[in-house]
């Protein structure tokens, strides 16, 4: 199963709007005779690719797969039927399929006499498929907030300079995160300060994500902005109540008008996420600055945080986070750290919001 999880990870950034899935087929004597992964939407599912590689050696064997085999016909046929046709005797999967259309593969296999076991390395399989599972369960894209900061929590110096706080190794990892996301999102502050490009560089055969520029007042993005070049598709989000002439400079660009946030500042995160979900975006990398990040955290629209901490101190300058709707320690947005790793000289910390009702363990 751990090998199947690794295979699934190879599909990250390439399968939109489908999940990433890995499969290993074992012969009756336990030998690995086939491996597969879901490489792109509309292409063979992981089970079919692995069964094709195994051929007749799959008969009487075991299929180990990260997600419950599907039981419906879409752009491809049901994997449950493919497993039965190949003569598989046992199926072990990690995570149940939460979709109404595709679920039921396990029941179909059991009804046909196949031994089925579920839950093996479920946490690891959930992690690699975090974005898709979150999108299915919550009905909106999964959002990862990424930031780079000094150890004292600054994302820019007092003079506004910010290049480069983190290392070349960390910046290379960010391009991998972009590649694995369906969309990369920034706000007007970042657009104004950095004129960012937001496309993936340095990742072979990368599928470019949708670049989302949140320009609420239609005051920042103009012809010639790097985010409007042809390196990747771009969506410019503006406030729905703006007069038509405010977006005249964006003629020819993909512009969507959305309601403002209830606070009156910025756009409503839920409305933007709903629009992205409609466009089959299942994962968003939030690269905006401290104001946008604070608004999205306050709205409960962040599912994972990835912070790159550089071994440096500034003492003054822009903080990594502005108002997130917290005015007392007891109301702090508590996170659970899921991974800590060195990236060059920097420290990468990955965390997810702590579920409601989970007690804290901090001391006084």
pLDDT digits (tens, 9 = 90+) for 61-81: 999 999 999 988 777 789 999
Q: Which has more pLDDT, 271 or 244?
A: 271
- 101-116: average pLDDT: 91
Instruction: Tell me what percent of the residues of the chain surpass a pLDDT of 90.
Output: 79
- 1-21: average pLDDT: 95
2-9 vs 46-54: helix axis angle to the nearest 10? 120
Instruction: Tell me what percent of the residues of the chain surpass a pLDDT of 70.
Output: 97
175-216 residue pLDDT tens: 999 999 999 999 998 999 889 999 999 998 889 999 999 999
pLDDT of residue 356: 60
d(CA 20, CA 2): 14
pLDDT of residue 288: 79
| Nearest residue to 310 via CA among 173, 178, 188 | 173
What is the CATH class of 2-128? alpha beta
Confidence check: pLDDT of 364 > 70 = no
Confidence check: pLDDT of 360 > 60 = no
- 5-16: average pLDDT: 95
- Segments making up each domain of the chain, as ranges: 2-128, 131-353
pTM of the model: 0.90
Residue 189 structure tokens: 């502050």
pLDDT of residue 182: 95
Annotation: binding site for NADP(+): 148, 164, 190, 194, 216, 289-295
- 206-234: average pLDDT: 94
Annotation: binding site: 45, 70, 79, 148, 162, 164, 178, 190, 194, 198, 201, 216, 287, 289-295
- 303-309: average pLDDT: 96
- 31-50: average pLDDT: 96
Task: Give 47's DSSP letter.
Answer: H
Burial of residue 221, with CB atoms counted within 10 A of its CB: 0-12 exposed, 13-18 middle, 19 or more buried: buried
The residues assigned a catalytic role are: 47
Q: Which residues contact 227 (CB under 8 A, 6 or more apart)?
A: 191, 195, 196, 197, 198, 211, 213, 221, 234
For residue 226, is the peptide bond before it cis, meaning its omega torsion is within 30 degrees of 0? no
- 37-50: average pLDDT: 95
Residue 363 structure tokens: 């001391």
Annotation: binding site for substrate: 162, 178, 198, 201, 287
Contact 349, 301 (CB under 8 A): no
Contact 106, 78 (CB under 8 A): no
Q: Which has more pLDDT, 102 or 296?
A: 296
Confidence class of residue 358 from pLDDT cuts 50, 70 and 90?
low
CATH topology for the 131-353 domain: Dihydrofolate Reductase, subunit A (3.40.430)
């Amino acid at each position: 199963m751990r090998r199947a999880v690794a295979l699934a990870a190879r599909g990250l950034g390439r399968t939109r709007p489908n999940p990433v899935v890995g499969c290993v087929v074992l012969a009756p004597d336990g030998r690995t005779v086939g491996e597969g992964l879901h490489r792109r939407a509309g292409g063979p599912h992981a089970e079919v690719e692995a069964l094709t590689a195994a051929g007749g050696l799959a008969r009487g064997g075991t299929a180990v797969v990260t997600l419950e085999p599907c039981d419906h016909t879409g752009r491809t046929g049901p994997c449950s039927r493919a497993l039965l046709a190949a003569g598989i005797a046992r199926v072990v999967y990690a995570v149940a399929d939460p979709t109404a259309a595709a679920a039921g593969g396990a029941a179909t296999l059991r009804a046909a006499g196949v031994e089925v076991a579920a839950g093996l390395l479920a946490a690891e399989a959930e992690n690699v498929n975090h974005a898709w599972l979150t999108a299915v369960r919550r009905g909106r894209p999964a959002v990862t907030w990424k930031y780079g900061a000094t150890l004292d929590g600054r994302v820019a110096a007092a003079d506004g300079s910010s290049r480069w706080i983190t290392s070349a190794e960390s910046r290379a990892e960010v391009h991998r995160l972009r590649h694995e996301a369906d969309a990369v999102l920034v706000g007007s502050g970042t657009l104004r300060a950095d004129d960012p490009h937001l496309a993936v560089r340095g990742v072979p055969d990368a599928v470019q994500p949708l670049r989302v520029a949140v320009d609420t007042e239609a005051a920042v993005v103009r012809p010639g902005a790097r985010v409007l070049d042809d390196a990747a598709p771009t969506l410019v989000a503006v406030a729905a109540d703006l007069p038509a002439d405010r977006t005249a400079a964006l003629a020819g660009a993909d512009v969507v008008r959305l309601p403002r946030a209830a606070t009156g500042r910025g756009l409503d995160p839920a409305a933007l996420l709903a629009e992205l979900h409609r466009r089959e975006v299942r994962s968003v990398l939030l690269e905006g600055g401290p104001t946008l990040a604070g608004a999205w955290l306050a709205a409960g629209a962040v599912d994972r945080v990835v912070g790159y901490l550089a071994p440096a101190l500034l003492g003054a300058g822009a903080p990594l986070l502005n108002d997130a709707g917290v005015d007392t320690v007891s109301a702090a947005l508590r996170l659970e750290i899921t991974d800590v790793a060195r990236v060059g000289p920097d420290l990468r910390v990955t965390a997810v919001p702590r579920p409601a009702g989970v007690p804290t363990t901090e001391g006084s």
